[in-house]
Amino acid sequence: MTNSTLYSSLIVKTEYLMSRYLSFTLDFGEIPNQEQRYDIKSAIIFVHAEIENFIEDRCRELAREAIIAWDSGVVSMQIISFLAAYHSGWDDIKDYKGQVEKLIQRSRKRKNDSSSYKEANGYVQIAKNDYYKIIEDNNGIKEADLKSLLAPIGLTMAEFDAEWIKEINEFGKQRGTIAHLKDDGKAIDLADVKTRINRVMNGLNDFDKAINRHILNISAAKPNIKKPFLQIFIDSLTKFWKRDK
C-alpha cells in the first residue's frame, strides 16, 4: 500500500529540520556545547510539532471520509465508534488533562433531551463536532494523546507496533521536558535523538498506511444498513447509557 501525500510531505519537512539542526558531528565522548544543545532541542520541538500535525490531519481525514460515506448509507466502524464514544460521554478519555470535560457535560445534557438530535444524523454531527474539538485541543503525541485521537475513529493501539508506541511516547515526553523546563545544561545525546526520530518516522509509515487501509475499506463498502434500523440501535444505546448511569 502506498503512503499518503501528507506522509511524503512529513518526510520532506523532517529531513529539512534534521539537516538544519542536527547536521553537526561530535567526537566520541564529546559533549554538545550550548549552541549545539539548543539546536538539538529545536529539532525535537519542531519535528514533534510536524508529527503532531500529521497525526491530527490523518485522523481528521479518516473521520471525514467516514461521514461522507455515512451520508450515502455506509455504516463503517468509524461511525459506530463515533456513536459509542458520544453515547458514553467520551468516558474513555474524560480524565485526560480535563480537556474534554466540557464535551462530556454537553454530550450528557444532549442525551437527556428530546430535541431533533434524537435522529441518527444529529448524533453523528454532534459526535463529529465533538471529535474535531478533541483534535483541535490535542497537544501531544504520547500514548494517552494517541488513544484520545484513535479510539473515537475505530482504531486501537493493538494495530500498531508496541515498540513504536513506546518510542513515540518517549519522544513526546522528551519534547515536553524540553519545552516546559529551563535549560539545565545537561547534555542531550545527538545520536540517540537522531535514532529516536528515525524510529518514530518508520512507525508513522505504518500508521499512515493503516489510515489509508481504513479509508479504502470505507470507499469500497456498499450501503449496508437503512438508517431507521440504525435509529433503533442508537435509541438502545441511549437507554443503556441512562440505565448504566
Task: Flag whether pLDDT at 116 surpasses 90.
Answer: no
pLDDT digits (tens, 9 = 90+) for 59-112: 999 999 999 998 888 888 888 888 777 766 665 554 444 444 454 455 555 554
Lowest mean pLDDT among 4-18, 72-86, 108-122, 180-194: 108-122
Q: Which of 50, 79, 80, 52 is nearest to 64 (CA)?
A: 79
The C-alpha cell at 62 is 479518516
Between residues 69 and 113, the one the model is more confident about? 69
- Model's pTM, two decimal places? 0.82
How much of the chain exceeds pLDDT 90, in percent?
A: 47
pLDDT at 177: 86
Between residues 167 and 106, the one the model is more confident about? 167
Please give the average per-residue pLDDT across 165-189, as a whole number: 81
Which CB contacts under 8 angstroms, 24+ apart, belong to 97-102? 99/134, 99/137, 99/138, 99/139, 100/130, 100/133, 100/134, 100/137, 100/148
Lowest mean pLDDT among 89-103, 111-125, 219-233: 89-103
- Cα distances from 190 to residues 43, 186, 203, 209, 221, in angstroms, run 11, 12, 20, 29, 47
Task: Flag whether pLDDT at 225 surpasses 50.
Answer: yes
- pLDDT level of residue 57 (50, 70, 90 thresholds): very high
Mean residue pLDDT across the chain: 81
Q: Which of 51, 52, 42 is nearest to 18 (CA)?
A: 42
- pLDDT level of residue 171 (50, 70, 90 thresholds): very high
Task: Flag whether pLDDT at 33 surpasses 60.
Answer: yes
Please give the average per-residue pLDDT across 183-206, as a whole number: 87
Q: Which of 183, 154, 150, 147 is nearest to 44 (CA)?
A: 183
- pLDDT level of residue 224 (50, 70, 90 thresholds): low
Highest mean pLDDT among 32-41, 52-61, 112-121: 52-61
The structural domains of the chain, with segments of one domain joined by +, span 5-244
Highest mean pLDDT among 75-89, 115-129, 197-211, 213-227: 197-211
Lowest mean pLDDT among 26-35, 86-95, 173-182: 86-95
Task: Flag whether pLDDT at 54 surpasses 90.
Answer: yes
